[in-house]
């Protein structure tokens, strides 16, 4: 098995999160099944899902067929670390429970390893189940206090339906507010992290508060400008006989942040999983990059910001 796929990190909940996972955003049939199968075959045990990706039903279906195929995979549900996320229109207490049950049903499992509040936003829902926008395309806020949503997440934890609970896209300010109300602190904050958005201060804040930070869009999500093409990254890749993608993923795990890269091409999985810690000199060179770019920008989707323009 690829060495890095065996590695886990401890969460404050006492669960262990595999350092390398598989992202599933935008993956749909027919690309989704071969990617999940190859990832599991290679030894990946961490799968990052979300209700809003509209593919949990397929992920559940493919996992069931994987569990049945012992000859090829030899893997059971409890070998996996399955993550999902509560959508922005489901923050009210009762909605948390119904959204969670739907995710369990879709993923065909009776528990999750980690359930995250996807964004610090609560929006009204439109007739199609998406975030409701006003005439100017601005998402309409539904005033549900984050303390209400978090208390429902804590109930799911107490009921044993989820092993760890956490958040996503939370800034230090959001976390500080949540920590005031929380009985159980979030085990994870999943945020965008790559050399163009390193968020050093957020990492420090989370470390102090024992919140594990998971790096999403670690390869820059295929957007331009791409840190994969930055001269410092390309130079290290040449010197270390790695690909630029491997350098970015290695940088992330060297900082102690688990990664969930996504690919629609199964033949890229081995490359994305076969990574190793970088030396101090390479880390310094990448940390000296000054380009700043957020690839997942809520202003583009909903014309509202939760990051106050921070980069």
Ligand X SMILES: NC(=O)c1ccc[n+]([C@@H]2O[C@H](COP(=O)([O-])OP(=O)(O)OC[C@H]3O[C@@H](n4cnc5c(N)ncnc54)[C@H](OP(=O)(O)O)[C@@H]3O)[C@@H](O)[C@H]2O)c1
Active site members: 53
Residues 80-139 touching ligand X, rule: CB under 6 A, are 118
Per-residue b/e over 240-273, b at no fewer than 16 CB within 10 Å?
eebbbbbbbbbbbbbbebbbbbbbeebebbebbb
Q: How far is the CB of 112 from ligand X (least distance, A)?
A: 14
Stretch that binds ligand X, among 8-16, 100-108, 135-143, 256-264 (CB under 6 A): 256-264
By the rule CB under 6 A, 23 interacts with ligand X: yes
By the rule CB under 6 A, 221 interacts with ligand X: yes
Cα-Cα end-to-end distance for the chain? 37
C-beta closer to ligand X: residue 168 or 282:
168
The binder of ligand X chosen from 58, 115, 216, 251 (CB under 6 A): 216
3-state SS, residue 114: strand
Instruction: Give the count of alpha carbons within 13 A of 90, CB side only.
Output: 22
The binder of ligand X chosen from 271, 301, 304, 306 (CB under 6 A): 271
Q: Are 206 and 214 in contact (CB under 8 A)?
A: no
Cα Rg of the chain (Å, integer)? 19
The binder of ligand X chosen from 51, 206, 247, 260 (CB under 6 A): 260
Residues in contact with 253: Cβ distance below 8 Å, sequence separation at least 6, in sequence order: 4, 7, 19, 20, 259, 275, 277
By the rule CB under 6 A, 268 interacts with ligand X: yes
Residue 118 labeled ligand binder: yes
By the rule CB under 6 A, 302 interacts with ligand X: no
By the rule CB under 6 A, 253 interacts with ligand X: no
Q: Are 227 and 248 in contact (CB under 8 A)?
A: yes
Please state, in angstroms and rounded to a whole number, the distance separating the CA atoms of residues 310 and 39.
Answer: 34
Phi-psi region of 308 (alpha: psi -120 to 50; beta: other; left: phi over 0): left
3-state SS, residue 266: helix
The binder of ligand X chosen from 45, 46, 262, 294 (CB under 6 A): 262
By the rule CB under 6 A, 245 interacts with ligand X: yes
Stretch that binds ligand X, among 20-28, 36-44, 92-100, 229-237 (CB under 6 A): 20-28
Stretch that binds ligand X, among 99-107, 128-136, 179-187, 212-220 (CB under 6 A): 212-220
C-beta closer to ligand X: residue 109 or 120:
120
Q: Are 218 and 193 in contact (CB under 8 A)?
A: yes
Q: Which residue has the tokens 């799911």?
A: 156
By the rule CB under 6 A, 240 interacts with ligand X: no
The binder of ligand X chosen from 169, 199, 250, 257 (CB under 6 A): 169
Q: How far is the CB of 254 from ligand X (least distance, A)?
A: 17
Using CB under 6 A as the binding criterion, the count of chain residues that bind ligand X stands at 26
By the rule CB under 6 A, 186 interacts with ligand X: no
Which of 165, 208, 173, 170 is CA-nearest to residue 192? 170
The binder of ligand X chosen from 51, 197, 219, 278 (CB under 6 A): 219
Query: What residues form the annotated binding site for substrate?
Result: 118
**Contacting positions for ligand X (CB under 6 A):** 23-25, 48, 118, 168-169, 190, 216-222, 245, 260-265, 268, 271-272, 296
Which residues are documented as binding site? 118
């Amino acid at each position: 098995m690829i060495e890095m796929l065996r590695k886990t990190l401890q969460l404050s909940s006492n669960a262990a999160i595999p350092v390398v996972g598989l992202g599933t955003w935008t993956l749909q049939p027919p690309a989704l099944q071969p990617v999940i199968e190859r990832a599991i075959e290679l030894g990946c045990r961490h799968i990052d899902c979300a209700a809003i990706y509209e593919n949990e039903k397929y992920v559940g279906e493919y996992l069931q067929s994987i569990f049945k195929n012992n000859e090829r995979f030899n893997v059971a549900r409890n070998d996996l670390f399955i993550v999902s996320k509560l959508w922005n229109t489901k923050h009210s207490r009762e909605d948390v429970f119904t959204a969670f049950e739907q995710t369990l049903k879709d993923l065909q499992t009776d528990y999750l390893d980690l359930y995250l509040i996807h964004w610090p936003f609560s929006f009204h829902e439109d007739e199609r189940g998406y975030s409701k926008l006003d005439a100017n395309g601005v998402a309409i806020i539904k005033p549900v206090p984050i303390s209400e949503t978090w208390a429902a997440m804590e109930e799911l934890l107490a009921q044993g339906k989820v092993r760890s609970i956490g958040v996503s896209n939370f800034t230090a300010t959001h976390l500080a507010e949540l920590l005031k109300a929380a009985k159980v602190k979030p085990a994870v904050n999943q945020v965008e992290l790559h050399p163009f958005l390193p968020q050093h201060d957020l990492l420090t804040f989370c470390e102090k508060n024992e919140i594990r930070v998971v790096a999403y869009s670690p390869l820059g999500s295929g957007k331009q400008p791409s840190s994969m093409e930055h001269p410092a990254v390309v130079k290290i890749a040449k010197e270390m006989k790695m690909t630029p993608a491997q350098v970015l993923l290695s940088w992330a795990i060297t900082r102690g942040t688990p990664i969930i890269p996504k690919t629609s091409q199964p033949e890229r999985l081995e490359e994305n999983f076969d990574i190793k810690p970088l030396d101090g000199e390479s880390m310094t060179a990448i940390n000296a990059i000054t380009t700043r770019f957020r690839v997942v920008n809520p202003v583009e989707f909903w014309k509202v910001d939760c990051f106050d323009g921070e980069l």
